[in-house]
Amino acid sequence: MPFINEPETKTVPLWINGRPSKTSSPITFPLISSASGDTIHHAISATEEDAIRACDASLEAFKSWRQTTYAHRRQILYKAVEVLRRRTNEIAAHQVAETSCSQQFAMFNVTGAIDYMEEIASATSEVRGQIAQRPSKPDGTETEGLSLIITEPVGPVLIIPPWNGAIVLPARGISMALAAGCTIVLKASEKCPMTHHCLVEAFEEAGVLPGVINSIQVRREDAAAVTETIIAHKAIRKVEFIGSQAVGRSIGSLCGKYLKPVLMELGGKGPAIVLDDADLRKAATLCAMGATLNHGQLCFSTERIIVQSSIASKFIPLLKTAMSHIPPPGNAVDAASAAHAHDILIDAQSNGATFLFGSPKYTGRNTLQPALLTDVTPTSPIYDEETFGPSATVYFVDTDEDAITQANDSAYGLNAAVHSGSWERAYNVARRLEYGQVNVNAMTVANNGTQPIRGVKGSGWGQAGSIWGIREFVVEKTINMG
């Protein structure tokens, strides 16, 4: 394991050009467990000079990597999958230690990563060119020559993954870029650099060329300057960012400033609509699970539950029972995240919201009690701001039309759910919802590696997963043979 040994701890290195890299500055930062308050390990914090070296290495490696065949890149991905399978327990343990998530959630991250990687590997040969039609002569015959539209990798890319899907989301992004023939600068999350480092190791062990994947992490106070240095670098041709809407605005502004295209998957305010013909017990269970999984720290979380009034008297007791029986929701990733999830509940209560279940109560160091609120007004921040906590707001509507209107009253558009006993009715509602994914009779927290994943409105743009994700990292070039 290429860690720098220190007394009683380990330090996560920078990874540049296929090896641990010394930094131009000896600055490190600690990783502190949210659950226990203990220091787990330290990580080297990159400087702007380190970021430039990572970009330079990525550009140099691109000259060779872009020439590799789809079959070679596919084989690399399959080998990386085998490394993940072999190291599943170890890598999941790092995610648990760094983000204080549950063991079950961390294992789901590894298995989800494997599913995405295998699907992306299988789709590498689906990137194809075309032969375009030639223009016509005055007599109606085709002009001589040949017009070829070929696909090429966009070039070195910057990938900025989040800490909550600490394995599945960076694995997906790295795999899509590698499959397209791109090289990578990974800006690992400062909240889980060890987890991200181990993922990079898996690809290195699988046989990627030195410099194809370069990974750095940086302490929060230096992150803005280092990130801009990377985006500004002439080598970087595209950016993938997964994270909050607030940071997404900043990344998007930088990409606009330097004219770099960006693939973004941002936050959500996922609604679950419960219609009057739904299986109420099943819907209640899925809503409760969707609201609390990983302490609510998922962009796909069920943040809003929209119930038809005619079934409210039956559904709400079932929902309360489901909330009382869910497994422990885990912990917030840090004190600041817990405080935000707590304070937004207090604010809603002060503005007239009432608790149907639970309260704004800490049950652990950085753990909140699951909660349900109603009577939320549109002027309260919780109305359309992610809580990132184990809570949901409940709204009552009369008609399907009202449910659609309530669900679409959001700046976000990532995931939604519709619960109904009629597929036709669910489809008619789903097709009018302004969301990239709508899950029928399932949690809002659901996706599939064989289909495109995207956000609309304020939840980002571009697609991830399978061939749709690979295409995000290629460009089409026309060659006219006269």
From the candidates 119, 190, 204, 265, give the one annotated as an active-site residue: 265
Question: DSSP H helical segments within 43-151, as ranges?
Answer: 48-65, 70-86, 88-99, 103-122
From the candidates 299, 303, 386, 472, give the one annotated as an active-site residue: 299
Do 194 and 98 form a contact (C-beta atoms < 8 A)? yes
Question: DSSP H helical segments within 162-277, as ranges?
Answer: 168-180, 193-206, 220-232, 245-257
3-state helix, strand, coil in the chain (%, to 5): 40, 25, 35
Q: Please work out, in degrees rounded to the nearest 5, the angle formed at the alpha carbon of residue 102 by the alpha carbons of 282 and 436.
A: 55
Distance from the Cα of residue 246 to its chain's centroid: 15
Dist CA 464 CA 470 (whole Å): 8
* Nearby residues of 204 by Cβ (< 8 Å), 6 or more positions away: 15, 18, 213
Dist CA 209 CA 65 (whole Å): 7
* Nearby residues of 443 by Cβ (< 8 Å), 6 or more positions away: 272, 286, 287, 289, 290, 293, 302, 417
Cα–Cα distance list, 237 to 111, 176, 177, 263 (Å): 30, 15, 12, 12
The reply to whether 265 belongs to the active site is yes
Amino acid at 456: V
The reply to whether 101 belongs to the active site is no
Catalytic residues: 265, 299
